[in-house]
Structure 1
Amino acid sequence: MSYIFFGTTYFSKAILENLLKRGYLPKAIFSIPEYFSISYAKEKVRNCHFFDFSSLAREYDVPLYWVESPTNTLLSYKNKIKDYSVDFFLVANWYYKIPYQIYSLSKMGAFGFHNSLLPKYAGGAPLVWAIIEGERESGVTLFRMNEAMDCGDIIHQRSFVIDFEDSIAEVLKKAEKLAITMSLDLFSKPITFTKQKGKARYYPQRTLEDGEIDFSLNAQQLYNFIRAQSSPYPGAFIKTRDGKRLVIEKAYIDSKIFNNTDDSAGGGAI
């Protein structure tokens, strides 16, 4: 089975690296720069989980191509991609839509990873949203991409538990482990497709400013909000009087109930 790999992050790197070590080399790698333009932001945005594939491409002698809208889109590589004549594309953490004119150039289409149990948590930042919403379970879906976002037929889908103490980094590791296994299965097991069941609920992409803490939330909601956006993401934060962002990387819930009017209790909460 021949393929082209599309990836941008350490999550993508873990998937490709395991394939490379087992001899499953792609015909080419496509990636997006750390700072890139995208439709939902006026300025360039930063991929805070960015991995530079240059070293892996050199080590395994695989061509690497950089994509950035609007000047250097996938469509500009159409003829080159067509010449590779691969069985499928493998897509992990890709931030631009792959148009029909491109994914139709492979025999089986583009297979994409999405870190949720589709059709749940379709759209942007699925694991961050799942933790914010207090979910105790999530998973990874490998599906065949089509023109509608996150709506294609499912190839593999597996779940994992979100433990109460898990940070986003720990949840990403659980997703990464499942995605590695799924990618290897593409080369050792028959590839089958199953229609998604149910209606997708879409969540938006998140920006840096979405991390501002809302103190009207209760303790459980605040705890989830903070752990969902901790490293490797920019973090939940409060704005200080001098206009700076004070990032809260970690929190825990104290079972004590503080009473601000009771001086004998030590002066209340800080």
Structure 2
Amino acid sequence: MASFQQLRIIFMGTPEFAVASLDALVKAGCNIVGVITAPDKPAGRGMELQQSAVKKYAVDKGLHILQPEKLKNPEFLATLKSLNADLQIVVAFRMLPEVVWNMPPMGTINVHGSLLPKYRGAAPINWAIINGEKETGVTTFKLKHEIDTGDILLQEKIVIRDDENAGELHDEMKDVGAKLLVKTVEGLANDSIQETPQQLPTSNLQPLPHASKIFTDTCKIDWDKKVDEVYNLIRGLSPYPAAFTFLDGKKLKIFSAQRQEDSKPSDALTGSFETDKKTFLKFACSDGYISVKEIQLEGKKRMDIEDFLRGYRFA
């Protein structure tokens, strides 16, 4: 078996979350023979081509970069094969065809933001908070056909604070995941890791929580739900894409809020709001209130509730 630094590694990733892992591998002395990331895309008012976070890092470090439009393109596959990688690593990238993930002799490993088999899917950080979980974690595993189902290599737990939002958990998780990835590569190099098949529940009474993609309907607040459920939804979607409701017919994104356990009057309709027009704006849930703290009204900038109330005229 090759030593840790001798392994020829191809890294695949696109957003900032993946940069932490690539940086950890580089700093650990790994031999990164190629970096695969998304093609540059036009963005902004000028529609200028924007590089992915991973590409920017790879350019700065002088790493060999590939940006295929299609992963089954014969020219790309030939180039990939010519890099003669021992191992491929995927962090926050797109789905790979088998011809890609099965190419290197040591296979392809993925870093996933949950304690698999829980929260398989596209948005594990968001859904763990939305569902009120007290802990989550990071898993490294071997890729195979079905998404997020491969044998587990290593896992590390992370406690979710009661007031933590998805953005904060994301930042914590990318660092924990980066360290776990380096530990995983070391373990694979010295053959000290035993692959473990994912253990599925034997009863259908407690199905595994899933981490499906976040859609607009997911983000719309249902005020008929309990305070805790609404509070967790707001945390789980902050800062992006953000939970929302409507105020005087305009979309109101809510980035942070507080629970109010005071009893709700029996005649208060769920979704109705109360405000002193100076310091607080609270919405009625089925069993109490959510007092919003940081918001963004359609067409306006994001601001604290006091600043918002100072300038807003209610209909």
Q: Using structure 1 for the length normalisation, give the TM-score.
A: 0.83
CA distance in 1: counterparts of 2:23 and 2:110, whole angstroms: 17
Contact 1:13 1:51 in 2 (8 A): no
Identity level (%): 27
How many positions carry a matched residue from both structures? 248
Given residue 90 of structure 1, which amino acid in structure 2 is its aligned partner? I
Equivalent positions of 1:234-249 (< 5 A) are 234-242=241-249, 244-249=250-255
Identify unmatched segments of 5+ residues in structure 1.
Answer: 37-49
**More divergent stretch after superposition (15-24 vs 78-87):** 15-24
> How far does the alpha carbon of each residue in 1:251-270 deviate from its partner, in whole angstroms, 9 at most, with x for none?
111232242769xx999955
CA distance in 1: counterparts of 2:266 and 2:21, whole angstroms: 51
CA distance in 1: counterparts of 2:14 and 2:181, whole angstroms: 16
**Structure 2 equivalent of residue 78 of structure 1:** 77
> How far does the alpha carbon of each residue in 1:15-34 deviate from its partner, in whole angstroms, 9 at most, with x for none?
11122223224111111258
Q: Secondary structure at the match of 1:20?
A: helix
CA distance in 1: counterparts of 2:155 and 2:90, whole angstroms: 15
Q: Using structure 2 for the length normalisation, give the TM-score.
A: 0.72
**Structure 2 equivalent of residue 195 of structure 1:** 197
> How far does the alpha carbon of each residue in 1:193-231 deviate from its partner, in whole angstroms, 9 at most, with x for none?
111111555432112442111111110000000000002
Given residue 243 of structure 2, which amino acid in structure 1 is its aligned partner? A
Does 1:4 pair with 2:10?
Answer: yes
Given residue 226 of structure 1, which amino acid in structure 2 is its aligned partner? I
Q: Secondary structure at the match of 1:117?
A: coil
CA distance in 2: counterparts of 1:27 and 1:75, whole angstroms: 20
CA distance in 2: counterparts of 1:179 and 1:193, whole angstroms: 18
Does 1:107 pair with 2:105?
Answer: yes
**Structure 2 equivalent of residue 222 of structure 1:** 230
Q: Cα offset for 1:61?
A: 1.5
Q: Cα offset for 1:65?
A: 2.0
CA distance in 2: counterparts of 1:266 and 1:64, whole angstroms: 54
Cα root mean square deviation, aligned: 2.6
**Structure 1 equivalent of residue 90 of structure 2:** 91
Given residue 206 of structure 1, which amino acid in structure 2 is its aligned partner? I
Which of 20, 23, 29 is 2:26 aligned to?
20
CA distance in 2: counterparts of 1:59 and 1:266, whole angstroms: 51
**Structure 2 equivalent of residue 62 of structure 1:** 63
Which of 142, 145, 160 is 2:143 aligned to?
145
CA distance in 2: counterparts of 1:79 and 1:21, whole angstroms: 29
CA distance in 1: counterparts of 2:66 and 2:186, whole angstroms: 28
Contact 1:258 1:269 in 2 (8 A): no
Contact 1:140 1:179 in 2 (8 A): yes
**Structure 2 equivalent of residue 184 of structure 1:** 182
**Structure 2 equivalent of residue 168 of structure 1:** 166
Greater gyration radius: 2
**Structure 2 equivalent of residue 158 of structure 1:** 156
> How far does the alpha carbon of each residue in 1:13-71 deviate from its partner, in whole angstroms, 9 at most, with x for none?
111112222322411111125869xxxxxxxxxxxxx942233222222122224xxxx
Alpha carbons of structure 1 residues 185 and 216: separation in structure 2 relative to 1, 3 Å: same
CA distance in 2: counterparts of 1:35 and 1:221, whole angstroms: 37
Alpha carbons of structure 1 residues 73 and 139: separation in structure 2 relative to 1, 3 Å: same
Q: Secondary structure at the match of 2:230?
A: helix
CA distance in 2: counterparts of 1:85 and 1:171, whole angstroms: 36
Contact 1:235 1:248 in 2 (8 A): yes
Q: Cα offset for 1:131?
A: 0.9
